[in-house]
């Protein structure tokens, strides 16, 4: 039904689909605004309720006792990761996790999954590696995944505990190194290499990866002898479009200044609403498929030279390109017009 150019949802939408939309909306709101809500809730408890001493105790525990837990493997909760609620989020897109034929991970080995593209909120990586209903346990039964997110998230009351319960760890060298150094193996660190800067390129049908100058993850992998695994999130850029700004404009300069200060890309996402499809903050109902490729094995070297790093970096880029060209035929109606750009 179209009214004044706005495409409204029909009134007879089944309850199952309504719940799926609610799950997708809640996911976006929590990830985008949960940290600020946590600070607001903390201030409210301290200033206006009888919970002030409990809240102050919590803050003391958070900053002085439980500090840096996100750099020591996190604190995943089996209960949170197995909630029935995640079923509705998975069905909304719908979502699917697949691995390329022949990909098998060594149970005694740790791996660094390098996920592209970042998108607005990394929907692909969240659905693939955070909760237990994604199919991850069936594909990789001997490994535990830890998704790397901004260190600032773990300084936000209540929100940090949400992230930790879902297996999140900090996006720092120390944090990733801790996971990759586990001697028993069976650990995976999932890194969105392009980071917040890559979110600027999140537009439907476009696949631009920020990778050309990002080599720190390669150095970390070489030092630990950890294989690099290319991971592609097909459909990630179709979930939102955004208010665009040309490079060099005042708005783009403001975005960059805020990104460098906060670590987050201040982008205005354009999705859909609860009851209409034309605008809003709910991601579009588009297929989302995460593909895990073959590991790029490398030789452990505690003191790699720049040439060592450059060689492995080039090897990884070639593996990523090959995976994209091979898999795009299965995930796009017109694969010839979908190009991968690395900046």
If one counts the domains in the chain, the total is 1
- For residue 315 the two structure tokens come to 């090897």
Q: Phi first, then psi: what are they for 281, rounded to 5°?
A: -105, 5
Q: Report the distance separating Cα 109 and Cα 298, nearest Å.
A: 12
Q: What is the pLDDT of residues 79-105, one digit of tens each?
A: 999 999 999 999 999 999 999 999 999
What average pLDDT does the chain have?
92
Q: Report pLDDT for 245.
A: 61
DSSP 144: E
Q: What is the pLDDT of residues 235-255, one digit of tens each?
A: 999 999 876 666 666 666 766
**Which is nearest to 31 in space by CA: 256, 247, 269?**
269
What residue numbers bound the domain in which 271 lies? 2-342
What pTM does this model have? 0.92
Q: Report pLDDT for 269.
A: 80
Which residues have C-beta within 8 Å of that of residue 247, sequence separation ≥ 6? none
Q: Report the distance separating Cα 167 and Cα 176, nearest Å.
A: 13
DSSP 49: S
**Which is nearest to 240 in space by CA: 269, 211, 275?**
269
Q: What is the pLDDT of residues 183-232, one digit of tens each?
A: 999 999 999 999 988 988 888 989 999 999 999 999 999 999 999 999 99
The residue assigned the tokens 């300069």 is 253
Q: What is the pLDDT of residues 129-182, one digit of tens each?
A: 999 999 999 999 999 999 999 999 999 999 999 999 999 999 999 999 999 999
Quick one: pLDDT band at residue 268, thresholds 50, 70, 90? Answer: confident
Query: CB pairs under 8 A, 24+ apart, for 177-184?
Result: 177/220, 177/223, 177/224, 178/71, 178/72, 178/73, 179/73, 179/110, 179/146, 180/110, 180/112, 180/220, 180/221, 180/224, 180/226, 181/110, 181/224, 182/73, 182/110, 184/108
């Amino acid at each position: 039904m179209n009214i004044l150019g706005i495409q409204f949802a029909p009134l007879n939408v089944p309850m199952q689909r309504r719940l799926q939309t609610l799950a997708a909306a809640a996911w976006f709101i929590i990830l985008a605004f949960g940290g600020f809500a946590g600070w607001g809730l903390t201030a409210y408890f301290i200033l206006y309720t009888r919970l002030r001493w409990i809240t102050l105790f919590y803050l003391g525990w958070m900053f002085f006792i439980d500090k840096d837990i996100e750099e020591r493997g996190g604190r995943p909760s089996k209960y949170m990761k197995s909630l029935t609620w995640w079923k509705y989020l998975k069905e909304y897109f719908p979502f699917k996790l697949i691995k390329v034929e022949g990909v098998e991970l060594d149970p005694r080995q740790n791996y660094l999954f390098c996920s592209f593209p970042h998108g607005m909120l990394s929907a692909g990586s969240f659905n693939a590696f955070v909760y237990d209903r994604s199919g991850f346990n069936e594909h990789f039964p001997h490994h535990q995944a830890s998704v790397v997110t901004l260190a600032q998230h773990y300084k936000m009351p209540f929100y940090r505990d949400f992230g930790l319960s879902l297996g999140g760890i900090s996006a720092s060298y120390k944090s990733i190194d801790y996971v990759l150094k586990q001697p028993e193996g069976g650990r995976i660190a999932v890194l969105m290499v392009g980071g917040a800067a890559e979110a600027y390129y999140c537009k439907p049908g476009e696949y631009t990866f920020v990778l050309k100058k990002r080599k720190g993850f390669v150095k970390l992998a070489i030092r630990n002898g950890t294989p690099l695994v290319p991971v592609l999130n097909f459909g990630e850029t179709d979930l939102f479009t955004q208010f665009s700004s040309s490079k060099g404009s005042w708005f783009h300069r403001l975005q960059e200044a805020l990104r460098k200060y906060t670590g987050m890309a201040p982008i205005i996402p354009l999705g859909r609403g609860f009851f209409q499809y034309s605008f809003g903050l709910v991601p579009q109902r588009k297929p989302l498929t995460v593909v895990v490729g073959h590991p790029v094995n490398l030789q452990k070297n505690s003191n790699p030279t720049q040439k060592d790093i450059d060689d492995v970096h080039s090897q990884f880029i070639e593996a990523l390109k090959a995976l994209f060209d091979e898999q795009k035929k299965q995930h796009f109606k017109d694969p010839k017009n979908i190009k991968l750009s690395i900046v």
